């Protein structure tokens, strides 16, 4: 199977139909989306196409980037650009195979193909019969298309997998952030092209499709049985899109089957794979253009680390870290494609091209606990592309808003527990849902205000968070927090309620919402320090 010329990916057409077509179909105006059978495959397929464009069809400068954004190439033009890379994307055969070890791994015993799926139970889990929630045997037969995508998904997200089974170049379970147009029905081409960098902004040597430095499967694997490491200086910068920490060989059979992942009939099936440890051992600082990072400002010599998925999901409290750079303060380093979008908007305006400041940010990735996936997160957040000179001011404003929320959420959990229990400090168990409820209820209003802040910040004379918007946020936060407290504190059966304890906790909570250190400072900023209580009723 030649990945670049076969009917490799499922594309969603404007009619609503899904059709498998070659990758060159990504630029057709009637193609609006990909339609992979799993959420992690969908994110991986986007990264595959973005990586392919960045490797084989990158614009030389911002002018060429804008030309191709306005006038997408024909499938024939893309096929011509990909022609020199076709031989490097073979899935089966005798030569180098896509994302597979050059060694056939003949000495290894076959293992189920489901081991390519990050959320599949491992051998130890199955042996101990502890696959209670994620059962073994859900997926055993893969068509070639799904086998290739499962392999690629694992290689770019690889968590730790036991002795010598290396983690991905960005660490296990990294977050990926992609720019999407504000219009959901925009063409797939625009959704992809917004995440391609021009070579004047990100210069690198011309990629050689036959080189290990670009595609690690083209030569013998740099084994790491003696802890040998692969650094960024050892490979081509575009290697980051094609990193291969795990050593696999897919085993295909001629056999009619129905794919357990996509449900299509196939004449070729992959039921087993071979694996060996001690693959490429990536180490040192990397800066993948699609992933946010964080550094410790107090330890400037230590490498930056990719941002990972964490329990509690992704919401507006993470917006600042994913969008606004603050290397010296908080250490937040948004993905390069996110930072570059503001530059693209400014350049486009100079050329009278419509590229809106408000777009969408698609954030996705696994939340891993070592080698165990706890969850898959995927969400879309509003993106505000503010010119560089104004980003520090927006950062201050956003921190003021989120700082009030963060303090309120903490107080809310504390007082709900005091309403429920006589000795709340002794209570064990996960009570994160209390804060999650509050964050969820205040998210929509935050993004409404963010849009308004985007307009106000154009006025360079406004230095501090506008008082009217601050007052609006304070009232909303207070109202929603009290509502959540009342809902949860009174949720027990009537005979179990201790109204004296609940009333005491509620009064302390209201006091903190007005006189607490953070709230008091915010109220002053909002011009509410002397407002009567009736203006703040919940």
Q: How far apart are CA 330 and CA 396, in angstroms?
A: 12
Q: What is the 8-class DSSP label of residue 93?
A: S
Indicate yes or no: pTM above 0.85.
yes
Instruction: Look at the chain and count its residues.
Output: 538
Hey, which residues does 308 pair with through a beta bridge?
Answer: 174
| Residue carrying the six token digits 């903190």 | 512
Question: Looking at residue 537, what is its pLDDT?
Answer: 45
Q: What is the pLDDT along the chain (538 residues), one digit of tens a residue?
A: 999 999 999 999 999 999 999 999 999 999 999 999 999 999 999 999 999 999 999 999 999 999 999 999 999 999 999 999 999 999 999 899 999 999 999 999 999 999 999 987 665 565 555 555 555 567 899 999 999 999 999 999 999 878 999 999 999 889 999 999 999 899 999 999 999 999 999 999 999 999 999 999 999 999 999 999 999 999 999 999 999 999 999 999 999 999 999 999 999 999 999 999 999 999 989 999 999 999 999 998 899 999 999 888 999 999 999 999 999 999 999 999 999 999 999 988 888 787 888 999 999 999 998 888 889 999 999 999 998 889 999 999 999 999 999 999 999 999 999 999 989 888 888 889 999 999 999 999 999 999 999 999 988 788 889 999 999 999 999 999 999 999 999 987 777 789 999 999 999 999 999 999 999 999 988 888 766 654 554 4
* CA neighbor of 537 nearest in space, from 504, 507, 510, 499: 510
Question: Looking at residue 525, what is its pLDDT?
Answer: 84
E strands, 225-312, where?
247-258, 265-276, 293-294, 305-306
Query: CB count, 10 Å around CB of 8?
Result: 23
Question: Looking at residue 508, what is its pLDDT?
Answer: 96
SS3 206: coil
Q: How far apart are CA 429 and CA 53, in angstroms?
A: 47
SS3 32: strand
Question: Looking at residue 370, what is its pLDDT?
Answer: 82
Whole-number Cα distances in Å, 97 to 77, 86, 91, 102, 273: 25, 11, 5, 7, 14
> pLDDT of 373-422, one tens digit each?
889 999 999 999 998 889 999 999 999 999 999 999 999 999 999 999 98
* CA neighbor of 162 nearest in space, from 371, 367, 368: 371
């Amino acid at each position: 199977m030649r990945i670049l010329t076969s009917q490799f990916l499922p594309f969603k057409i404007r009619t609503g139909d899904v059709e498998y077509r070659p990758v060159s179909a990504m630029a057709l105006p009637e193609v609006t989306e990909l339609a992979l059978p799993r959420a992690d495959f969908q994110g991986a397929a986007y990264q595959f196409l973005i990586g392919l464009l960045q490797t084989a069809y990158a614009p030389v400068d911002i002018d060429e980037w804008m030309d191709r954004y306005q006038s997408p190439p024909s499938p024939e033009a893309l096929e011509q650009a990909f022609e020199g890379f076709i031989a490097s994307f073979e899935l089966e055969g005798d030569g180098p195979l896509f994302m597979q070890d050059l060694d056939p791994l003949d000495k290894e015993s076959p293992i189920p193909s489901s081991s390519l799926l990050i959320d599949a139970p491992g051998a130890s889990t199955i042996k101990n019969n502890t696959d209670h929630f994620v059962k073994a045997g859900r997926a055993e037969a893969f068509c070639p298309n799904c086998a290739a995508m499962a392999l690629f998904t694992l290689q770019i997200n690889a968590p730790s997998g036991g002795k010598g089974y290396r983690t991905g170049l960005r660490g296990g379970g990294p977050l990926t952030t992609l720019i999407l147009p504000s219009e959901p029905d925009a063409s797939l081409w625009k959704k992809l092209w917004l995440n391609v960098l021009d070579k004047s902004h990100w210069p690198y040597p011309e990629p050689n499709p036959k080189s290990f430095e670009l595609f690690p499967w083209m030569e013998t694997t740099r084994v790491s049985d003696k802890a040998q490491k692969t650094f960024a200086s050892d490979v081509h910068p575009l290697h980051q899109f094609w990193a291969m920490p795990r050593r696999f060989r897919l085993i295909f059979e001629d056999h009619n089957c129905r794919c357990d992942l996509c449900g299509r009939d196939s004449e070729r099936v992959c039921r087993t794979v071979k694996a060996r440890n001690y693959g490429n051992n990536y180490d040192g600082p990397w800066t993948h253009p699609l992933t946010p990072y964080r550094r410790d400002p107090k330890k400037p010599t230590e490498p930056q680390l990719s941002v990972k998925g964490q329990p509690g999901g992704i919401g507006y409290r993470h917006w600042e870290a994913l969008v606004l750079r603050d290397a010296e303060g908080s250490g937040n380093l948004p993905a390069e494609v996110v930072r570059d979008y503001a530059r693209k908007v400014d350049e486009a305006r100079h050329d009278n091209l419509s590229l809106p400041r408000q777009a969408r940010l698609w954030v996705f990735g696994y939340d891993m606990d070592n080698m165990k996936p706890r969850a898959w997160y995927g969400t879309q957040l509003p993106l505000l592309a503010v010119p560089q000179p104004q980003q520090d001011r927006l950062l201050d404003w956003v921190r003021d808003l989120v700082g009030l929320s963060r303090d309120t959420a903490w107080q809310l959990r504390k007082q709900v527990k005091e309403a429920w229990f006589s000795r709340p400090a002794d209570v064990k168990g996960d009570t994160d849902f209390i804060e999650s409820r509050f964050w969820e209820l205040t998210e929509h209003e935050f993004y409404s205000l963010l849009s308004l802040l985007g307009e106000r910040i154009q006025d360079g004379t406004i230095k501090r968070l506008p008082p009217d918007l601050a007052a609006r946020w304070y009232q909303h936060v207070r109202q929603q927090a009290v509502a959540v407290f009342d809902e949860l504190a009174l949720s027990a059966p009537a005979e179990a309620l201790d109204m004296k304890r609940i009333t005491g906790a509620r009064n302390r909570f209201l006091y903190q919402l007005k006189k607490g250190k953070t709230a008091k400072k915010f109220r002053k900023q909002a011009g509410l320090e002397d407002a009567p209580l009736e203006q703040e009723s919940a």
